[in-house]
Every structure is written in structure tokens, then in C-alpha cells.
């Protein structure tokens, strides 16, 4: 299944992916590569890839250089300073009331909705596949995780927060790993997410 996307990888990066022997991972990647439809794919597997990510974040305008060498800054949208509780849903496999403060939805309906929104969302964009390890490498409680995102800024932030986990996936013996999918969606002139208010997209530029 995964072989059909080979041309979207640089040759050496696709070879690195194939070194992982896990059908669950390949099934997951195949489904979302088809759905997201990125123009190209970059696999983060080594520390040296972090420099590439940092440079891309600046090239795309997601981060801006500051006067301090090696430091950058990123501006979120003025309207995106906290979790959107109204539209954040916890998906449940069966009907259950968690709290009046928590919005829930059925897993089936929720996935159908988000998959509709994600269809072709990365067309003409680069998709980053990043492997992380949540927890110390020596801990039996550490959990491998794979992240898919088209944001070099998000990738840069997570590289600072989490341990690189490619080696953990090479030694993975089961299907115990987290899966994350993220897209920055449609952006405004400031490289932040466009905000929909009263059925109209508004500018998030602050004057």
C-alpha cells in the first residue's frame, strides 16, 4: 500500500520508512497520505533533520528571525489564544455524558466530519512525518508516537518538546503507539489560520 507514495519521498527517506516493519503504521500512513494528498513528504528520523525544519519554518514565514542569533518568533492569530471549547469534541464509541463542560460526539460521526475537512487539505504542500518517544527511552511506560503535519512551525516546537523516536519504531514489536494528524488549514497573510466568524473569513492582522 505505502509503495504508491514512494515518488513523493526523497529516495533515501522512503528507504528509511521501509526499515520500520509495522503493518499498522503503514496502514495508517497509507490512509492519511491518500486523504491529505500532500505534494511531497519529508521524514524526520535524525537530529540533523531539525536544522532543515528550522530553516523551513523561516522560509515559509511561520517563524520570523529576531535580533538574537538563533532565535525566532511565531505569532498566533489574535482570535486563537485558547482552546475553542465550543468546537472541540471528545469522540466516544458509545453515548456517555462526561461533563456539561465537555462537548462529545460519536466516534463514527466525528471521524466522518474531520475526514471531510481533511480531504486534500495538504494539496501542493509538504507533509512532515515525525517519530517521537513520549517518556524516557529506558522506561517500559514510554510510548512511541507518530505525527503528521504540514506545519514546519509545529514540527519545530515538537522537536523541542519530545524525544526523537525513529529508533523506537525500528524496534517496535506491537501496535502500541499514538497517532496524531494536524494541518494548519487555510492561512492568512500573516501565516496564521484564517478565522471564520459569522460565515465570513476575517483578517487577523493587528494594526
Span 167-201, pLDDT tens digits: 999 999 899 999 999 998 888 877 777 765 554 54
59, pLDDT greater than 80: yes
Domain-embedded: residue 91 = no
For position 108, what pLDDT does the model report?
92
Q: What is the mean pLDDT of residues 44-67?
A: 94
Q: Is residue 101 part of a domain?
A: no
pTM of the model: 0.88
Could you tell me if residue 87 is inside a domain?
no
Residue 159 has pLDDT above 90, yes or no: yes
93 — pLDDT class (breaks 50, 70, 90): confident
Number of domains the chain is built from: 1
161 HSE (CA, 13 A, CB side): 10
Residue 166: closest CA among 28, 13, 20: 20
Domain CATH number, residue 63:
3.40.449.10
Question: How far, CA to CA in Å, does 61 sit from each of 9, 20, 184, 191?
Answer: 23, 33, 13, 6
**Residues listed for the chain:** 207
Is residue 103 one of the residues assigned to a domain? no
- The β-bridge relationship of strands 143-149 and 178-181 is parallel
C-alpha cell at 125: 504542500
In a domain, 28, yes or no: yes
- Domain of 39 in residue numbering reads as 2-79+109-202
Q: Tell whether 114 is covered by a domain.
A: yes
Could you tell me if residue 96 is inside a domain?
A: no
**How does DSSP classify residue 177?**
-
User: Is the residue at 100 inside a domain?
Assistant: no
Of residues 81 and 197, more confidence is placed in: 81
Amino acid at each position: 500500500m505505502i509503495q504508491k507514495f514512494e515518488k513523493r519521498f526523497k529516495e533515501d527517506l522512503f528507504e528509511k520508512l521501509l526499515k520500520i516493519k509495522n503493518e499498522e503504521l503503514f496502514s495508517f500512513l497509507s490512509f492519511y497520505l491518500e486523504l491529505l494528498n500532500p505534494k511531497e513528504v519529508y521524514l524526520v528520523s535524525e537530529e540533523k533533520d531539525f536544522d532543515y525544519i528550522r530553516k523551513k519554518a523561516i522560509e515559509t514565514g511561520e517563524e520570523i528571525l529576531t535580533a538574537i542569533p538563533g532565535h525566532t518568533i511565531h505569532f498566533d492569530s489574535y482570535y486563537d489564544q485558547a482552546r475553542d471549547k465550543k468546537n472541540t469534541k471528545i469522540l466516544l464509541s458509545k453515548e456517555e455524558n462526561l461533563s456539561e463542560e465537555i462537548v462529545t460526539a460519536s466516534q463514527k460521526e466525528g471521524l466522518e466530519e474531520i475526514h471531510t475537512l481533511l480531504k486534500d487539505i495538504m494539496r501542493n504542500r509538504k507533509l512532515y512525518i515525525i517519530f517521537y518517544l513520549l517518556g524516557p527511552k529506558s522506561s517500559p511506560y514510554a510510548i512511541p508516537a507518530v505525527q503528521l503535519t504540514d506545519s514546519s512551525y509545529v514540527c519545530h516546537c515538537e522537536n523541542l518538546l519530545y524525544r526523537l523516536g525513529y529508533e523506537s519504531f525500528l524496534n517496535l514489536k506491537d501496535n502500541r503507539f499514538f497517532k496524531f494528524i494536524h494541518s494548519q488549514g487555510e492561512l492568512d497573510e500573516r501565516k496564521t489560520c484564517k478565522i471564520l466568524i459569522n460565515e465570513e473569513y476575517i483578517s487577523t492582522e493587528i494594526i
